[in-house]
């Protein structure tokens, strides 16, 4: 008889092997998907690799594409480790970008040393406020955070759509494109070696989240909340306050993704450049096993895939839409591996009726 038996914990070796096998299986499934699409597998994967790592410029663009995913992935790590299902990273990315743009309108003419920090702080406040509002609804009125964050996504996205579709923020004389005017140079994130300020901030955020979760009382409360909130309440932890803090931190990290895209790359606010960053960040955080450094690696891989997808779609018959499908396949296999590592197989004889 073969039976599944739940175990308390799996060693890091077993977890590592499971995740590696899951990624390999996901890649094999992705290859099958490309074959089903009728494209040349070798040519498609070769173009994907060339677009992602073909030369120094491609590597730089892949790193730039990974920056917002690091932030939204870390946002997932903070919320999910606390057992809070924050699906609102998408709206919090938009809220951060909108708050940053609003601040840039208020500080026109300010020197860069004032303008850049002000934009970043405004974005963090905007993203954190949107996320914290859902946390208050959860703690005060027991509103499920999945529903509130999802609904708030629509509200924030449609608010930006109103502001840009003939609203007060649309570029003068522009009717075909729903976008703001170009942002003044003094608000641009400074560049170093071809990467804007978002790159070192993303690395710093990864180290900070890893330290807070592993080494601080707040991190202990977040992890404990994820395992057993009732026990944490009996231990004297103010659960409501911890939930609000976790959501605010998660929202602030998501907002940084919006800042990096608008003030580091595009230099104008458009919904198209922000779409999907929040939802992709959830996948990145899950594939990174809700570990900050694992999330950083997953974000780099996804950034490379996103950058290589464009090159692949131009040079081959493989549609770029296959890349999100490949990302979803990888997520499914990794989630499957996560579940399987919680169980062990037991082999034995089936007990008879009389023992």
CB 170 within 8 Å of CB 269: no
Smallest CA-to-CA distance from 206 within 291, 121, 333 is with 291
Q: Is the pLDDT of residue 323 over 80?
A: no
> Rounded to whole angstroms, how far apart are CA atoms 91 and 48?
30
Q: Which residue has the higher pLDDT, 232 or 81?
A: 81
Tens digits of per-residue pLDDT, 254-282?
999 999 999 999 999 999 999 999 999 99
> Rounded to whole angstroms, how far apart are CA atoms 12 and 278?
29
| Helices and strands (H, E) in the chain, number of each type | 13, 4
Burial tier of 321 (Cβ tally within 10 Å: 0-12, 13-18, 19+): exposed
Q: Is the pLDDT of residue 126 over 90?
A: yes
- Which pLDDT value is given to residue 121? 97
Smallest CA-to-CA distance from 282 within 73, 38, 125 is with 73
Tens digits of per-residue pLDDT, 103-115?
999 999 899 999 9
- Which pLDDT value is given to residue 286? 86
Q: Is the pLDDT of residue 353 over 70?
A: no
Burial tier of 299 (Cβ tally within 10 Å: 0-12, 13-18, 19+): buried
- Which pLDDT value is given to residue 355? 42
Distance of CA 96 to the CA centre of its chain: 14
Both structure tokens of 49: 């690799």
Sign of the Cα pseudo-torsion (112, 268, 70, 313, in order): negative
Residue whose entry in the numeric block shows the structure tokens 């082999």: 347
Span of 10-24, 120-134, 302-316 with lowest mean pLDDT: 10-24
Mean pLDDT, rounded, for 143-158: 95
CB 288 within 8 Å of CB 73: yes
Tens digits of per-residue pLDDT, 13-40?
777 788 788 878 888 888 888 888 777 8
CB atoms within 10 A of CB 142: 7
> Rounded to whole angstroms, how far apart are CA atoms 322 and 34?
8
Tens digits of per-residue pLDDT, 46-72?
888 888 888 888 999 999 999 999 999
Q: Which residue has the higher pLDDT, 8 or 49?
A: 49
Both structure tokens of 86: 């924050």
Question: With pLDDT > 70 as the criterion, what percentage of the chain qualifies?
Answer: 93
Burial tier of 176 (Cβ tally within 10 Å: 0-12, 13-18, 19+): exposed
- Which pLDDT value is given to residue 34? 80
Q: Is the pLDDT of residue 352 over 60?
A: no
Number of residues in the chain: 355
Q: Which residue has the higher pLDDT, 244 or 53?
A: 244
Q: Is the pLDDT of residue 331 over 60?
A: yes
Q: Where are the beta strands (DSSP E) in 140-278?
A: 191-192, 195-196
Q: Is the pLDDT of residue 329 over 50?
A: yes
Mean pLDDT of the chain: 88
Both structure tokens of 326: 């490949």
Q: Is the pLDDT of residue 351 over 60?
A: no
Q: Is the pLDDT of residue 350 over 60?
A: no
First to last CA, the chain: 15
């Amino acid at each position: 008889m073969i039976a599944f038996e739940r175990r308390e914990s799996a060693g890091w070796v077993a977890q590592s092997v499971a995740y590696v096998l899951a990624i390999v299986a996901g890649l094999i499934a992705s290859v099958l998907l490309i074959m089903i699409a009728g494209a040349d597998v070798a040519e498609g994967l070769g173009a994907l690799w060339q677009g992602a790592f073909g030369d120094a410029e491609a590597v730089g663009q892949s790193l730039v594409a990974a920056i917002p995913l690091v932030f939204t992935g870390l946002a997932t790590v903070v919320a999910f480790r606390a057992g809070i299902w924050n699906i609102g990273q998408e709206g919090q990315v938009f809220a951060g970008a909108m708050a940053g743009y609003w601040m840039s309108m208020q500080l026109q003419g300010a020197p860069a040393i004032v303008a850049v920090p002000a934009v970043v702080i405004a974005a963090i406040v905007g993203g954190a406020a949107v996320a914290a509002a859902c946390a208050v609804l959860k703690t005060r009125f027991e509103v499920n955070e999945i529903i509130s964050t999802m609904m708030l996504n629509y509200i924030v996205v449609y608010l930006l759509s109103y502001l840009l579709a003939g609203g007060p923020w649309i570029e003068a004389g522009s009717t075909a494109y729903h976008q703001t005017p170009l942002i003044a140079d003094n608000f641009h994130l400074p560049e170093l070696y071809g990467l804007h300020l978002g790159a070192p901030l993303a690395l710093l955020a990864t180290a900070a989240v890893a330290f807070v979760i592993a080494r601080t009382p707040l991190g202990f409360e977040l992890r404990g909340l994820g395992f057993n909130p009732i026990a944490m309440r009996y231990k004297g932890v103010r659960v409501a306050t911890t939930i609000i803090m976790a959501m605010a931190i998660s929202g602030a990290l998501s907002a940084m993704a919006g800042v990096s895209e608008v003030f580091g790359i595009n230099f104008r606010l458009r919904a198209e450049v922000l779409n999907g960053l929040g939802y992709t960040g959830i996948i990145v955080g899950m594939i990174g096993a809700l570990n900050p450094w694992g999330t950083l690696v997953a974000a780099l891989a996804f950034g490379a895939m996103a950058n290589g997808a464009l090159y692949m779609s131009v040079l081959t018959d493989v549609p770029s839409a296959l890349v999100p499908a490949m990302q979803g396949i990888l997520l499914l296999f990794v989630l499957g591996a996560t579940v399987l590592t919680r169980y062990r197989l037991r082999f034995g004889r089936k007990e008879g009726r009389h023992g």
